[in-house]
Amino acid sequence: MRGWIERTVRTDVQARTAYAVADPGTAIRLNQMENPFGWPADLWRACMESLSGAEINRYPDAAGRELIAAIRAHDDLDDAWGVMLGNGSDEIIQPLIQAICDGARPVMAPAPSFVMFEVIAGQCRVPYVGVDLNRDFSLDADGLIAAMQRHNPALLFLAQPNNPTGNLYDEADLRRVIEACPGLVIIDEAYGPFSSRNHQSWLGQYPNLLVMRTFSKMGLAGLRCGYLVGDVAWIEQINKVRLPYNLGVLNQAVARFALTEGRAVLAQQSAALRVGRDQLFDALSARGLRVHPSEANFMLLEVDQPSAVNASIAAQGVLIKDLSKAHPMLARCLRVSIGTDAENAAFLAALDVALKAQR
């Protein structure tokens, strides 16, 4: 068997490690930027009732018409813009790269940024170039523009707010970069529900811009529902390489219900997370720690021995993310998602114990 695998599986795939997520058990999960709140019982009941009779014997609507109509209403998107659905926005990165990149011109993104841009480019055998942010995590627009002139990217991903840094880039820098990009630019607004800026109105201003969104962070991570918005002519091309039926009947139906009947609850939950974020920022700053202001539902904090601190916090039953090995600029960084008030308090208590043990 081993010989067969070595002879037949692509060598670059053999060299990869699968995306692994450890079983969280009963730990408090502040490591994946999830919304920690469930739904009220009456909303769940109404959702279940709405699913009765769902035609799971049939293939789903491949075009996702009803869900897209709900997305348009939710985001106030008029029919001039095309929308393509993905099984999470993760999944959309792949058809984007497949449709745009021929393998010669690279995918580019600032660094550090969302890891899946690089991972999926690698899986598609497309070169990837990351261009470092400035030390304060602002966009090095001149550096990125110079790198784009050198590398001629086919695709540029700009996560706004950025993961893992949590910030928005200066608007004028962002505009300069989009204008200078010789390829297609994707603004990834995964953390849009927590951000003070969105870029929907920019779509009409740049012929090479699309916006990617997801409902994961605002409370539907388990549904896997992301989408790409932009000129219908762009969406038409990228849609050609999307797998048909990528969102199941139940996913589409629950997402549609959530965006309509559940809309107010989801909006309240995002608002509560924004408040929790500001409180957590203050609590961490009050401990004398360097904390990076965030427009997302997570934040970065700096500590002296991040891996040891992370291990201690995990041993106390709270999962956060140690990013100290992810990029040299993150050498002191831990990322914590915003949880419920009780979860945030548990995290702070565990952090205090971990920091005390260091002294």
Ligand X SMILES: Cc1ncc(COP(=O)(O)O)c(C=O)c1O
- Contact footprint for ligand X (CB under 6 A): 33, 88-90, 114, 159, 163, 188, 190, 214, 216, 221, 226
Would you say 162 or 310 has its CB closer to ligand X? 162
CB of 304 to ligand X, least distance (A): 26
CB of 357 to ligand X, least distance (A): 30
Q: What is the rounded CA–CA span in Å between residue 292 and residue 166?
A: 8
CB of 275 to ligand X, least distance (A): 21
Nearest Cα neighbor of 310 from 294, 295, 326, 296 is 326
CB of 190 to ligand X, least distance (A): 4
Eight-state DSSP code of residue 30: -
DSSP assignments along 50-90, one per residue: HHTT--TTSPP-TT-HHHHHHHHHHHT--TTEEEEEESSHH
Would you say 151 or 213 has its CB closer to ligand X? 213
Would you say 212 or 235 has its CB closer to ligand X? 212
Would you say 89 or 312 has its CB closer to ligand X? 89
CB of 269 to ligand X, least distance (A): 16
Nearest Cα neighbor of 68 from 215, 199, 195 is 215
Looking up tokens 């002879």, which residue turns up?
7
Would you say 117 or 354 has its CB closer to ligand X? 117
Asked whether 131 and 157 are in contact (CB, 8 A), the reply is: no
- CA distances to 46, 165, 222, 323, 354 from 326, in Å: 43, 12, 26, 5, 21
